[in-house]
A and B are shown apart, each in its own frame.
Chain A
Amino acid sequence: MALQDDIKEGVTEIFRDQWSVRDGTVVPQPDSVRLNNDAVRLEGTVLYADLSESTRLVDKEPPEFAAEIYKAYLRTAARIIATEGGEITAYDGDRIMAVFIGKAKNTTAVRCGLKINWARQHIINPALKAQYSTKTYQLKQTVGIDTSTLFIARTGIRGANDLVWVGRAANHAAKLSGLSADSPTWISEAVYDGMHESAKFTDGKSMWQERRWTQMDDARVYCSTWVWPV
């Protein structure tokens, strides 16, 4: 019964202990948040970049090819995110999560989304065509972005060492990254309203279309097919 008792004890502690919350100014690393009910509160913009139709990819293509696609996409997205000042907080299969903070967090995250779309069109797909001339596969992806207060805590077990990011932006960004890859960048109303004009317009022309998000009580969201050269 040792395991059962451990679980009970662990769960009871989690509910009993008071959080000691501090406001953060940097994106926390696992070692900067203690294991107990220590937590960091942060205003952050969360970006999820998600490779579309990955189940079809692993079903239809040899594993080595699928692995190259995953790697090319995740590495490219990770590099662009890092260059824009975002912190990569999780890799999970075919997607990557990053957090942006600071005054320009919405603008940089959105620019990042448009840059990833540029890299897909101008780097990854052409390189794919060059290497595998007989394949028809084209990489598609969706980036989802939302911003809110985030509450960051350690998950629990030593070794697995990961942080749990709680807050609307974490959930909604993940869900937005599951929307149609026909317009590869999807952002929430809060991100749109908070971002700089330079990320909204090019030569006076809007880069964004307003949509209603039916699965989320018709929330106002924006999507874009535009690219931003890297």
Chain B
Amino acid sequence: MPLSNDLGREVDAILAARWQIRSGRTVPTPESVALTGGAVQIDATLIYSDLADSTRLVSDLGNEMAARVFKAFLASTTRIIRANGGEIRSFDGDRVMGVFVGDSRNTAAPRCALNIAHAFTKILKPKLEAKYLALASGAYLRHGSGADTGQILVIQGGIRNNNDLVWTGRAANVAAKLSGIREDGFYSYITRGVYDAMDDSSKFSRDGHRPMWEPRNWGNLPNEVLYRSSWTWEPE
């Protein structure tokens, strides 16, 4: 049973090896994380942006139309994340993960969420609903973005060389969960850690300094406060 021996040996090695952890200042790439025992520890803010109801989109609209929606969503979010200084490190069908590092990470990521909300509600959704009768009811197109910040341990998770970095840390799980919250009119969710470290430029609107985020309890983690926003921010 050669495969099973290989598996056993490999798992033993993973559990026994000491991580060679280095602290990173840039977003790691697969090449920069050594294959065995390699890990990069990094303070980062992660944003997940998630297209809602994608299963229903596929079953109701068919593959080709759904593919256009997915593609338009992923193309726009990717562009906005990059324009805000974030890097894309994971694509998974109907959602995208962006990574922000550096001192302004907690200002850039929330701004990015509001930019995505603008692009989705003011560009993508109207264009799609105008083009496809099946979408015109307005019942389909929704999205959500979530951001959390913390220490992330980035490791090489798989057996191929590209795109198989695994981001382990609470912020990765929490950001993904926040991007799944669906509340009418609110598209962006951030944790208190992000909110507290955010610059006023992303906290308050430019027209008279109105607060763009409001606190909200989070059922999943009762001791935690989240902030949510109904604002959109035109990408510049």
Interface residues of A (CB under 8 A from B): 1, 3-4, 6-8, 10-12, 14-15, 19, 21, 39, 41, 54-55, 58-59, 63-64, 66-68, 70-72, 74-76, 78-80, 82-83, 88, 90-94, 96-97, 119, 122-124, 127-128, 130-132, 149-151, 153-157, 159-162, 164-168, 170-172, 174-175, 229-230
Contact = CB atoms under 8 A, between A and B. Distances in A.
B71 A168 contact: no
B133 interface: no
B102 interface: no
A123 B8 contact: yes
Given A11-B124, A157-B75, A170-B93, A55 B173 contact: yes
A80 B139 CA distance: 41
19 contacts: A1-B236, A3-B83, A7-B235, A11-B76, A55-B174, A58-B170, A63-B41, A67-B153, A70-B157, A93-B90, A93-B176, A96-B158, A119-B4, A150-B63, A157-B82, A162-B91, A164-B74, A168-B58, A171-B54
B75 A75 contact: no
Interface string B147-168: 0000101011111100111111
The A contact surface, by secondary structure, is: helix
B163 to A, nearest CB: 6
B216 interface: no
Contacts of A64: 19, 21, 39, 153
Contacts, number: 231
A207 to B, nearest CB: 20
Interface stretch (B10-18, B183-191, B201-209): B10-18
B68 A15 contact: yes
Interface centre among B91, B124, B167, B174 (most CB of A within 10 A): B91
Interface of B: 1, 3-4, 6-8, 10-12, 14-16, 19, 21, 39, 41, 54-55, 58-59, 63-64, 66-68, 70-72, 74-76, 78-80, 82-83, 88, 90-94, 97, 119, 123-124, 127-128, 131, 151, 153, 155-160, 163-170, 172-174, 176-177, 234-236
Contacts of A174: 93
A91 B153 contact: no
Nearest to B70: A164
B119 A151 contact: no
Nearest to B177: A55
Contacts of B58: 166-168, 170-171
A216 to B, nearest CB: 8
B138 to A, nearest CB: 17
Nearest to B91: A162
A150 to B, nearest CB: 8
B93 A165 contact: yes
Greatest chain B CB density within 10 A among A1, A68, A90 is at A68
B3 A7 contact: no
A166 B78 CA distance: 18
B125 to A, nearest CB: 10
Nearest to B6: A79
A69 B124 CA distance: 39
Contacts of A70: 155, 157, 166, 168
Contact of B159 (A54, A78, A92, A230): A78
Contacts of B74: 155-156, 164
A22 B78 CA distance: 26
A97 B155 CA distance: 18
Given A92-B92, A97-B92, A127-B15, A58 B169 contact: yes
Contacts of A96: 158
Contacts of B12: 127, 130-131
A106 to B, nearest CB: 20
B113 to A, nearest CB: 15
A58 B3 CA distance: 29
A75 B158 contact: yes
A91 B8 CA distance: 22
